[in-house]
Amino acid sequence: MTCPGGYARRASITGDVGSGTLGAMTTLDTAPPSADSPAPTNGFDRYFMITERGSTLQREIRGGFATFFTMAYIVVLNPLIIGTAKDLHGHVLGIPRVAAATALVAAVMTIAMGVIGRYPFALATGLGLNAFVTFSIASEMSWADAMGLVVLEGIVITVLVLTGFRTAVFRAIPTQLKTAISVGIGLFIALIGLVDAGFVRRTGTGPVPVQLGATGELRGWPTLVFVFGLLLTAILVARRTRGAILLGIIITTIVAIIIEAIANVGPSFTPPDKVNAGGWQLNVPKLPTDVVGSPDLSLLGHFSLFGGFAQVGAVAAILLVFTLMLADFFDTMGTVVGVGAEAGLLDEEGQLPGIERVLVVDSLAAAAGGAASVSSATTYIESAAGVGEGARTGVASLVTGGLFILALFFTPLVSVVPFEAASPALVIVGFLLITQVRNIDFEDYAIAIPAFLTIVLMPFTYSITNGIGAGFVSYTVLKATQGKAREVHPLLWVVTALFIVYFAINPIQDALVN
């Protein structure tokens, strides 16, 4: 994701390799092309720029596997969120159908990102967005109507890309705010790993919102597996071991399977109300009896584009689409900045060459997710795990997408990897992300305070969008009060106004509807 030297990494990478790279990367992994760079070996190499970006086919394959294993949980988790909830009419989509459609959308759109975007970004149903669709939209209308609004949001955001607006906004953001976005994502992804593994949990009562483990202390075999995986991955990364992150996931999963076979730990929660504080957080690491299954894709095309307008009214429906669009818009931007910076793919101005291709695929993925009834699909920050294995091109995305195709038929195998085995990779990647905080000028409060708010609010509110919004609004206000309003790009003023609406969406909706 990010790196020392931030967006000037191409100019300083050789001096900073030791402190901010992932896995076993060397100067060759991220060094910019030069006159002395090896020529592409064939048309495939030339199209994906494998040699030009200092990568190899082996690194791309390793990276694709690493990304898949860190985000494969979505095939299990998304069905638990969307597939079990009832819409306004009491209808349920069902876990098997949502699982199959989730894997299919992830496969198709990740492969599209590889072929069209040509970057190592993987896509799947966005967490947070799926919960919003489930509990805030589908509860007010049918599933078909709710997914129609998601499709509509994807269409609108695609138009914004094609007209150049989304790209222009991306380029209007100050470099140090982009750096803050990457650092904030680092803390966010580390917190995701800690929470997914059950290492950090909600207290449920009292003034402190979170605590260590389920009872304020560490206990249970799954926690031990996570700690083992974290230390193992850290050792492998520190020793520059090839395939460090992927090896960490695989070895830790094997250890988890052995422990479960011996100790019979079981899940942390069994419906309807059985709680096991020392259980596995999502997947129980058991070798399944049924390895192959036939995917049920009957949810494809099950949406009504404007049905939601009839259910809740035009104003309420437009506000719901706006909320989805803004979250999707800036979640992707933050992810692209973070992962692109860590891979050394940004230019001296902090821009990703060919960003338009990436944004088009991402925008179409939002519509595709709605059309498949699995909620908006978006670019995943877990793509950083693949970058950590040296991935620099779309070939890694082809590998990840191919594995999601296999997941369509081998969903039971996907569920073998527990959170406790995949989460250590996220924590290590998070650490590497925050190292570029050194590139923020904390002597200039007009940039330091917005950067600080961006960084802390991402993990504290569990939202990339909230962090970016707080950073934009505070940056614009501070510049204006310093008499430096002209230093703020006009588009940033527009985005700031949109974020003010975003943060005040509930009172605005209440005022307009009532």
What are the structure tokens assigned to 178, written together?
């982009």
Q: Taking a C-beta distance cutoff of 8 angstroms, is the pair 383, 122 a contact?
A: yes
With respect to residue 151, please indicate whether it lies within any of the assigned structural domains: yes
Question: What range does the domain containing 141 cover?
Answer: 9-513
Tell me which residue has tokens 């560490």.
Answer: 218
With respect to residue 4, please indicate whether it lies within any of the assigned structural domains: no
Q: Taking a C-beta distance cutoff of 8 angstroms, is the pair 178, 489 a contact?
A: no
Q: What is the pLDDT of residue 260?
A: 94
Average pLDDT, stretch 392-412?
A: 92
With respect to residue 1, please indicate whether it lies within any of the assigned structural domains: no
With respect to residue 212, please indicate whether it lies within any of the assigned structural domains: yes
Specify the DSSP class assigned to residue 280: B
Q: Write b or e for each residue in 400-439: b if 16 or more Cβ atoms lie within 10 A of its Cβ, otherwise e.
A: bbbbbbebbebbbbbbbbbbbbbbbbbbbbbbbbbbbbeb
Number of domains into which the chain is organized? 1
Quote helix, strand, coil % in the chain, to nearest 5.
65, 5, 30
Q: What is the pLDDT of residue 34?
A: 46
Query: What are the tens digits of pLDDT across the range 55-114?
Result: 999 999 999 998 998 888 788 778 867 887 889 999 999 888 998 999 999 999 999 999
With respect to residue 260, please indicate whether it lies within any of the assigned structural domains: yes
With respect to residue 3, please indicate whether it lies within any of the assigned structural domains: no
* Alpha-carbon distance values, 4 to 19, 123, 336, 438, 441 (Å): 7, 26, 17, 8, 14
CA atoms within 13 A on the CB side of 167: 16
With respect to residue 2, please indicate whether it lies within any of the assigned structural domains: no
> Is residue 129 predicted with pLDDT exceeding 70?
yes
With respect to residue 194, please indicate whether it lies within any of the assigned structural domains: yes
Categorize the per-residue pLDDT at 272 as very low, low, confident or very high, splitting at 50, 70 and 90: low
Q: What is the pLDDT of residue 217?
A: 74
Give the residue, 1 or 338, on which the prediction is more confident: 338
Q: What is the pLDDT of residue 118?
A: 95
